[in-house]
Amino acid sequence: MPARIGFLAPIVVFLVLFFGYPLAANVAMSLREYTAASFYTGEAPFVGLANYAAVMGDPVFTTAVANTAVFTAASLLFQFGIGLALAVFFQRHFPLNGILRSLLLIPWLLPLVVSGTVWRWIFDQQYGILNQTLLGLGVIDSAVPWLSSTAIALPSVTVANIWVGIPFNMVILYGGLQSIPAHLYEAASLDGAGPWQRFRHVTWPLLRPVSAVVLMLGLVYTLKVFDVIMVLTQGGPANATQTLTTWSYSLSFGELDFGLGAAVGNLLIVVALLFSVVYLRGLRSSAPATARKRR
């Protein structure tokens, strides 16, 4: 009996101390005027929902929400689309298939700070390879300020983030494709289905559960992207790439108003949870399809 409790006790203590308590502390902080001074004086006056009101009344709020939505939607769409195309392509049998597939994993394994740094150099206005190539080919007549123009910075940051996420999507979707029984394709071929019809009527429906998992994880992950944006633009220029995550960071650790930062963070949790609930309900309603989950 004691052994059972002994095995689980450490992780329960860990969860309470390092998730339960911090999350409760974060809610408490968001209801107080919690500044750098609070850490020294220990005084943080209770202000109720004033931090939430202040945050939502701030013009940056609308920008951050819109940026988060655009950044997340575009990232998911392209990561998934490109990942799926690659997964389908690598289903073919050809020499070097395995090696090339594992090489594709590298971008996913690199620290995001490194990937961000590489893209910052690629996007460099004067010496970056992107502008140099486009100028050389005559596609553009003058250097594009990829990261310093308020109009283009968000798309640029999104491109870098899409690149980071492709391997993950590809690997999981490839695994999902492998679990589709080959005889279904053979049967479809016998019925005269072409490649597109086989994809449309066999691959796509049977891949649905795996696709749902990938998109859900991608969503939760993309909502909280921090490193890539920080390295490329720090949320600038003029908040053009500010998302809820980077804004929360700059309120807490830039302006040292931890109450405001906590409020934005909690709003972010609410968004993530909302999407999770929608996802879980969707999963339940398609239960027959998920019953044959791959293991």
Please name the residue that has the structure tokens 């993530």: 272
Q: Per rule CB under 8 A, is residue 249 in the interface with other proteins?
A: yes
Q: Per rule CB under 8 A, is residue 202 in the interface with other proteins?
A: no
* Shortest spacing between CB 174 and other proteins, in angstroms: 9
Give φ, ψ of 32 to 5 degrees: -125, 160
Piece in contact with other proteins (CB under 8 A), picked from 53-61, 64-72, 103-111, 185-193: 103-111
Q: Per rule CB under 8 A, is residue 120 in the interface with other proteins?
A: yes
Piece in contact with other proteins (CB under 8 A), picked from 70-78, 148-156, 194-202, 215-223: 215-223
Q: Per rule CB under 8 A, is residue 137 in the interface with other proteins?
A: no
- Give the tokens for residue 94: 């050809």
Q: Per rule CB under 8 A, is residue 226 in the interface with other proteins?
A: yes
Q: Per rule CB under 8 A, is residue 64 in the interface with other proteins?
A: no
Total number of residues binding other proteins (CB under 8 A)?
90
Helices (H), the chain: 2-15, 21-30, 36-41, 50-57, 59-89, 97-103, 106-109, 112-122, 129-137, 153-178, 182-190, 195-198, 204-206, 208-223, 227-232, 244-249, 258-285, 287-291
Q: Per rule CB under 8 A, is residue 80 in the interface with other proteins?
A: no
Q: Per rule CB under 8 A, is residue 89 in the interface with other proteins?
A: yes
Instruction: Specify the residue, 49 or 100, whose C-beta has the smaller distance to other proteins.
Output: 100
Question: Per-residue contact track with other proteins, 173 to 192, x per CB under 8 A?
Answer: --x-----------------
Q: How many CA atoms lie within 13 A of 257 on its CB side?
A: 18
* Shortest spacing between CB 77 and other proteins, in angstroms: 17
Q: Per rule CB under 8 A, is residue 117 in the interface with other proteins?
A: yes
For residue 69, count CB atoms less than 10 angstroms from its CB and return exposed for 0-12, middle for 13-18, buried for 19 or more: middle
* Side chain identity, residue 79: Q
Q: What is the C-alpha to C-alpha distance for residues 78 and 115, in angstroms, rounded to an integer?
A: 18
Q: Per rule CB under 8 A, is residue 88 in the interface with other proteins?
A: no
Give φ, ψ of 193 to 5 degrees: -80, 135
Q: Per rule CB under 8 A, is residue 66 in the interface with other proteins?
A: no
> Helix axis angle, 129-137 relative to 112-122, nearest 10°?
30
Question: Per-residue contact track with other proteins, 271 to 290, x per CB under 8 A?
Answer: -xx--x--------------
Torsion of CA 36, 39, 44, 49, to 10 degrees: 60
Q: Are 243 and 268 in contact (CB under 8 A)?
A: no
Q: What is the C-alpha to C-alpha distance for residues 185 and 190, in angstroms, rounded to an integer?
A: 9
What's the angle, vertex CA 85, arms to CA 70 and CA 103, rounded to 5? Answer: 100
User: Which of 35, 132, 148, 189 forms a contact with other proteins (CB under 8 A)?
Assistant: 132
Q: Per rule CB under 8 A, is residue 150 in the interface with other proteins?
A: no
Piece in contact with other proteins (CB under 8 A), picked from 53-61, 145-153, 192-200, 221-229: 221-229
Q: Per rule CB under 8 A, is residue 204 in the interface with other proteins?
A: no
Instruction: Specify the residue, 52 or 258, whose C-beta has the smaller distance to other proteins.
Output: 258
Q: What is the C-alpha to C-alpha distance for residues 108 and 218, in angstroms, rounded to an integer?
A: 13
User: Which of 62, 77, 238, 253 forms a contact with other proteins (CB under 8 A)?
Assistant: 253
Q: Per rule CB under 8 A, is residue 52 in the interface with other proteins?
A: no
Q: Per rule CB under 8 A, is residue 93 in the interface with other proteins?
A: yes
